[in-house]
């Protein structure tokens, strides 16, 4: 039987080369995996931003509109657009507003003139809403317009996006 002998120095260099190549392949794979994950997160944020920006108009119009004749129905409709701690805050605000709205026969119709995304995180989207509130009541002649700017903090869910906070600016 014949034995094959390798030159010891040559084998060491080959082993080092294989080790260096293996490290480079692993590092390259890790970098590619990180880039893919980062890209996927960016695509998810972009999708959430688009979805929430589209949902901001009907949400803002429902939340900031009411009619004294159908106040409870207006509030119920708006609740379908909200989530989290904002549910309790909205309930408290509308409960305090109802007696005055009924007393002065207030009708407020909110119309969104423009929306834009302010910030996007992994869990929420901030949308700036330019909102005009056309209001009529027994104490004013004709119709008055209030121009408001509101930042809606929205969170994506299985049904689109819901408002978790609203802040006038």
Give residue 28's domain range: 8-168
> Sign of torsion, CA 125 151 87 135?
negative
Q: How many domains does the chain have?
A: 1
With a CB cutoff of 8 Å and minimum separation 6, the contacts of 58 are 81
| Distance (Å, whole) CA 78 – CA 142 | 26
CATH number, position 76: 3.10.450.230
In a domain, 117, yes or no: yes
In a domain, 3, yes or no: no
pTM (2 d.p.): 0.76
pLDDT tens, position by position, for the chain (169 residues)? Answer: 555 555 555 668 777 877 777 787 787 777 777 777 676 777 787 888 999 999 999 999 999 999 999 999 999 999 999 999 999 999 999 999 999 999 999 999 999 999 999 999 888 999 999 999 999 999 888 999 999 999 999 999 887 899 999 999 9
CA 110 to chain centre: 21
In a domain, 146, yes or no: yes
Torsion of CA 48, 118, 57, 74, to 10 degrees: 100
> Sign of torsion, CA 70 76 79 85?
positive
* pLDDT for residue 4: 53
In a domain, 62, yes or no: yes
The answer to whether 106 and 140 have CB atoms below 8 angstroms apart is no
């Amino acid at each position: 039987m014949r034995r094959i002998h390798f030159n010891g120095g040559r084998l060491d260099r080959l082993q080092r080369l294989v080790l260096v190549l293996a490290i480079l392949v692993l590092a390259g794979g890790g970098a590619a995996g990180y880039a893919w994950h980062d890209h996927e997160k960016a695509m998810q944020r972009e999708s959430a931003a688009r979805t929430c920006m589209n949902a901001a108009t009907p949400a803002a119009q429902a939340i900031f509109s009411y009619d004294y004749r159908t106040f409870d129905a207006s509030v119920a409709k708006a609740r379908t657009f909200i989530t989290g701690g904002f549910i309790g805050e909205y309930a408290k605000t509308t409960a305090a507003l109802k007696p005055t709205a009924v007393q002065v026969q207030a009708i407020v119709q909110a119309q969104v003139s423009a929306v834009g995304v302010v910030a996007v995180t992994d869990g929420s989207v901030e949308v700036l809403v330019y909102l005009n509130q056309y209001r009529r009541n027994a104490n004013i002649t004709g119709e008055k317009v209030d121009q408001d700017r509101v930042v809606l903090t929205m969170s994506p869910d299985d049904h689109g996006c819901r408002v978790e906070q609203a802040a006038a600016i």
